[in-house]
Amino acid sequence: MFLKTIHLKQFRNYQEQRVDFVAPKTILVGNNAQGKSNLLEAVELLATLRSHRLARDRDLGRDGEALGQIHATLERQAGIGELSVVVRRQGRRTVALNSEQLRRQLDFLGVLNAVEFSSLDLELVRGAPEQRRHWLDTLLIQLEPVYAHILQQYNQVLRQRNAFLKKRQETGDRRQEKEELAAWDAQLVTIGSRVIRRRARAIERLAPLAAEWHASISDRAEVLQVKYAPNVPFTETHPEGVQQAFFDKIEQRAIAEQHQNTTLVGPDRDEIELTINQTPAKQYGSQGQQRTLVLALKLAELKLIEAVVGEPPLLLLDDVLAELDLNRQNQLLEAIQDRFQTLIATTHLAAFDSQWLQASQILSVNAGQIFSDQ
């Protein structure tokens, strides 16, 4: 797939800007806070309807504007398509495909695939479990767009069950309480099991790819293991087995939930364990090891999406080269070559050799305006 054009209107710090992409690699160069990351964020939104900055829609429009718009032209093996996203300061966002507004945002997902790698991703190793879950969920949405709907359903049921647990002390009708809780349990288990099984399958496919990349980057000196550690431990992978394990765990935690008035069981408490040579990377990995690990995860994402979708996704590199030493930079640039359309945001061009620069489209970004350097 190849992103041919993107047109931003009142998005972040852009008043109106169109970019035509003419090479497999585009380098966006400029000082910090000029709009490089904002352009990559727009592409990420087209791919996943999510922002790695976890921004709310009202923050995405330009200051004082009621709405912000992203329009793009994408070339795929099946033909050329037009995508657009409109975010609003108030009200729901709207999405359109080939000028036709879609009723379900789910139908927009999977048209454009992209892997985003920024300096914020280094927190994948150091940060809280929530960041690793968000990373895995964003990947899953691209592998299986219906997952976005499943995750939304789960979060809704979780909120409703928590609301019930908080108010049940007030009703006093124990029998009615028990019946209502059983109904919420059944919904949580049914939908939560779908989340768990999909996460388990994704890690099962991603882990060997990441391990191979990591071995290559570390000259076979280190062994990376990526393991899914669900809050609901299960031995049977079929739906009924996972659901039974879920019910069992809810029963075990029933008294604690009664005291704390909140749900203590489910995939919202999952962890993804990352170890290097059987040592937790979070606690013991050096900064260099942690960067190698994240780089391996991102390269594995590229390979997995390509294998599932059948076309290479876009790669978005947001000021990440400065975080990598020369060896890791070269490994990354070597892996990309011309196979993946790549958009790179950087403050300087020193990291690129002359061959790369000659093969790239170079654009300068300054205060929400983009100019060609060629």
All residue ranges of the chain with pLDDT < 50 are none
CATH number of residue 228's parent domain: 1.20.1050.90
d(CA 39, CA 46): 11
**What confidence tens digit (pLDDT) does each residue in 137-180 have?**
999 999 999 999 999 999 999 999 999 998 876 656 778 888 99
Listed residues 275, 292, 310: the one ending a domain:
310
Counting the structural domains of the chain, the total is 2
Q: What pTM, to 2 d.p., does this model score?
A: 0.90
Range of the domain at 129: 122-310
Q: Are residues 35 and 88 in the same domain?
A: yes
What's the CATH code of the domain at 347?
3.40.50.300
The sign one gets for the Cα dihedral 34, 37, 41, 43 is positive
The values of phi and psi at residue 64, to 5°, are 85, -10
Taking the C-alpha atoms of residue 168 and residue 313, their distance in angstroms, rounded to an integer, is 48
130 and 236 part of one domain: yes
Residues 129 and 264 in one domain: yes
Task: Say whether both 133 and 229 belong to one domain.
Answer: yes
For 8-55, how does the pLDDT look when each residue is reduced to its tens digit (9 = 90+)?
999 999 999 999 999 999 999 999 989 999 999 999 999 999 887 766
Rounded Cα–Cα distance for residues 117 and 301 (Å)? 10
